[in-house]
Structure 1
């Protein structure tokens, strides 16, 4: 049974979501005190966090930043705010997805299932270590290491890198990436993929590899590799 922490201050909505998700055998945790989010997060040890933006004390962006400083647990934002910068900000802070209120529960369930599948299923693969441009890519640890150093990726960032590495020097369309990441691209903003790829590049820049994830305008993305490697 997966444990989900729902950081939502609307009691009616919290109980509605809890009831619906419990029907899918998820174990739901709420927040007792909104100034103790990190303590309650540590005590619950959830497998996934769903968080609203507008919260008492501090907003969801603050808590997302705090959680990301300690954990790579998947995070989905759930918010009535509809400004594009909110989605961009959530992705830049390390969130895995964004659901706009009001929402259909089938969409929320689909996104939760896809996020959990990405986060935990592929870790069981026999091959857990790959090399790319002289760097060691460890799927289980979500890290990539070369002589310059090591960077830690989120689940989405590693999934994108893994998908591109499996098709080295071949253009992977945006539609294919979105379908692979979120199962059904009709639920995904095209901007969400752009933010995730840009965030992946920024992290790879730290170890000198960002330039090797190329954008092919109007086509998609490609991870380049030197011949013979």
Structure 2
């Protein structure tokens, strides 16, 4: 049974979300000490976090950054803030998705289910690869696949570690960044359509603002730049993205 941890200081809303999720057989725990959210999350060890932005003491962005130091657990922001910049900040600070209040409960359940599938279920980051990949992919050694990594032109993505290595340098990446880069590496040198990348991250593509992909890609490019690869991800106007090292 998956455990959902809800960080929401409005008890009425928190109880409403809890009741709805429990209808679908999820175990739900509510945050109690808003001064020490990280400690509560560590103790609860949840499979997914629902996180409000307006909270006592520190806002949701702060707590999301703290969680990302210790975990890649899926985080869905839930907030009354409807502005585009708020949603951009949620993604920039490590969130995986964003739902505005008043919450449509069926949409909430669908997004929770999708994130859990991505992180732990049938759509979790694989360590084996489909047989219809390009010739470049076919050259990946069996040892690489068994070790849960993809290596192209010296760039090594460790699927089970959320790490990216290049020329004796190493950087941690988020789950979304890993999924995007895995998709680009698996189609190295090819143009990957935006829709394909959206589907890599989210099942319910109709609910996703296209700008969310842009923000995630910007974050990934920043990480690549830190490794000395500022121009590795090329935007192909009107089509998508291409990885070239």
TM range (shorter): over 0.9
Following superposition of structure 1 onto structure 2, how do residues 133-144 of structure 1 map, counting pairs within 5 Å?
Answer: 133-144=153-164
Cα distance between partner residues in 1 of 2:102 and 2:183: 32
> Structure 2 unaligned runs (5+)?
129-144
CA-CA distance at 1:224 after TM superposition: 2.0
1:67-104: CA deviation from partner (whole Å, max 9, x where unpaired):
11222221110111011111111111111111111232
Cα distance between partner residues in 1 of 2:53 and 2:150: 37
CA-CA distance at 1:146 after TM superposition: 1.9
> Structure 1 unaligned runs (5+)?
none
Q: Does 1:164 align with 2:164?
A: no
Give the aligned length: 225
Q: SS state of the match for residue 119, structure 2?
A: helix
Partner of 2:232: 212
Cα distance between partner residues in 1 of 2:153 and 2:118: 24
CA-CA distance at 1:210 after TM superposition: 3.8
Q: Does 1:125 align with 2:105?
A: no
Partner of 2:100: 100
Partner of 2:114: 114
CA-CA distance at 1:109 after TM superposition: 1.6
1:153-193: CA deviation from partner (whole Å, max 9, x where unpaired):
11111111111111111111112211232112210011110
Partner of 2:172: 152
Cα distance between partner residues in 2 of 1:199 and 1:11: 34
Q: Which runs of 4+ in 1 moved over 4 A?
A: none
Partner of 2:134: none
Following superposition of structure 1 onto structure 2, how do residues 167-186 of structure 1 map, counting pairs within 5 Å?
Answer: 167-186=187-206
What is the TM-score with the length of structure 2 in the denominator? 0.87
CA-CA distance at 1:49 after TM superposition: 1.0
CA-CA distance at 1:123 after TM superposition: 4.6
CA-CA distance at 1:124 after TM superposition: 5.7
Give the CA RMSD over aligned residues. Answer: 1.5
What is the TM-score with the length of structure 1 in the denominator? 0.93
Is contact 1:142-1:155 (8 Å) kept?
yes
Partner of 1:68: 68
Is contact 2:127-2:149 (8 Å) kept?
no
Partner of 1:19: 19
Is contact 2:48-2:73 (8 Å) kept?
yes
CA-CA distance at 1:212 after TM superposition: 1.1
Partner of 1:29: 29
In terms of mean alpha carbon deviation, does 152-161 or 64-73 score higher? 64-73
